[in-house]
């Protein structure tokens, strides 16, 4: 498969889903789902547990594939293409998720530098056939500094707090200088202070030109830089649009099937059961 031309990437949307459906057993998890997200368009995908967020993430990362369409057209395209080598896609779309963190912290001997450097080879850790160049080390150090994790060099992943490990995962994703970051429930397990510090680091990435695609069920995590919100319910699009238009009492109440009251605090939003 040929590498995409830069002009091809520049013109293509980050994500294009056209009538995508996913079955699990006899259950329809995503139901004729369509969505387009442009490169540079910071977007939050919001919904309750079971709304279809995890399935959507796995479609984007090519861990799941949609049902074939009758017309033969592709239902899912990332950066304008429906077929990617996973390692090639990782160079354009970085991923940060609790499951990836669990994978990296399950190895008691994996240290921070190796966790970051190994992503050059789409691996969890370095193998005997992996050759690290001075350029790779420079980019890893640069990514760790950019993620606010340079002070963690020399530590083992298993020894880090949840917030520290999450910063290392951002650095791991950044070594490829990706065009976008897919953040799947990135604040899971963080306390209030750690969450705010982590979110502020993400704001810096957004301002530096990395497109953020945030998947969450907490509206408190939606950054000021995120202007668009996609609201899911039962595997379908409930609403999408400008953040201020979507984050309302009525919309959130429908999404979570309970009365919800939304408040705005400066540049952030919060919600509570009414």
Residues 116, 232: one domain?
Answer: no
Which of 124, 156, 177 is where one domain is finished?
177
Q: Please check whether residue 97 lies inside any domain of the structure.
A: no
95-129 tens-digit pLDDT: 888 888 888 888 889 999 999 999 998 888 888 89
Which segment of 59-63, 130-134, 256-260 scores lowest on mean pLDDT? 59-63
198: left (phi over 0), alpha (psi -120 to 50) or beta: alpha
| Residues 65 and 186 occupy one common structural domain | yes
> Does residue 132 sit in the same domain as residue 46?
no
Residue with token string 């990362």: 61
pLDDT value of position 151: 95
Residues 120 and 240 in one domain: no
Same domain, 148 and 185: no
pLDDT digits (tens, 9 = 90+) for 30-79: 888 999 999 999 999 999 998 999 889 888 888 888 888 777 777 888 89
102 lies in a domain? no
The answer on 259 and 185 residing in a single domain is: yes
pLDDT value, residue 9: 57
Stated as kind and residue range, the H or E segment containing 230 is strand 228-233
Q: Examine the domain organization and report whether 187 and 268 are in the same domain.
A: yes
Global pTM reads 0.88
Is residue 171 one of the residues assigned to a domain?
yes
46 & 61 share domain: yes
User: What pLDDT, on the 0 to 100 scale, is given for residue 240?
Assistant: 96
**What total of structural domains would you count in the chain?**
2
Domain holding 126, by residue range, is 108-177
Structure-token pair, residue 44: 């939050």
DSSP state of 225: T
* In the block, residue with structure tokens 């190895």: 107
């Amino acid at each position: 498969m040929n590498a995409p031309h830069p002009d091809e990437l520049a013109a293509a949307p980050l994500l294009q889903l056209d009538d995508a459906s996913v079955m699990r057993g006899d259950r329809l998890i995503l139901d004729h789902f369509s969505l387009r997200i442009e490169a540079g368009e910071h977007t939050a995908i919001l919904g309750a547990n079971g709304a279809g967020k995890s399935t959507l993430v796995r479609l984007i990362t090519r861990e799941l594939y949609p049902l074939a369409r009758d017309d033969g057209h592709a239902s899912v395209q990332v950066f304008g293409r429906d077929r990617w080598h996973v390692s090639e896609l990782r160079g354009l779309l970085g991923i940060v998720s609790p499951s990836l963190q669990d994978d990296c912290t399950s190895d008691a001997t994996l240290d921070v530098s190796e966790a970051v450097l190994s992503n050059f080879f789409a691996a969890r850790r370095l193998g005997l056939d992996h050759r690290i160049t001075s350029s790779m080390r420079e980019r890893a150090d640069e990514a760790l500094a950019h993620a606010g994790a340079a002070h963690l060099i020399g530590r083992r992943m298993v020894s880090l707090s949840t917030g520290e490990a999450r910063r290392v995962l951002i650095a791991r994703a950044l070594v490829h200088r990706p065009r976008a970051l897919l953040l799947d429930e990135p604040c899971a397990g963080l306390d209030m202070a750690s969450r705010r510090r982590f979110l502020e680091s993400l704001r810096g990435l957004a301002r530096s030109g990395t497109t953020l695609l945030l998947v969450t069920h907490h509206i408190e995590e939606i950054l000021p830089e995120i202007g668009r919100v996609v609201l899911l319910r039962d595997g379908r699009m409930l609403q999408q649009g400008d953040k201020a238009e979507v984050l309302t009492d009525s919309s959130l109440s429908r999404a979570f099937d309970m009365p919800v009251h939304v408040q705005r605090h400066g540049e952030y939003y919060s919600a509570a059961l009414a």
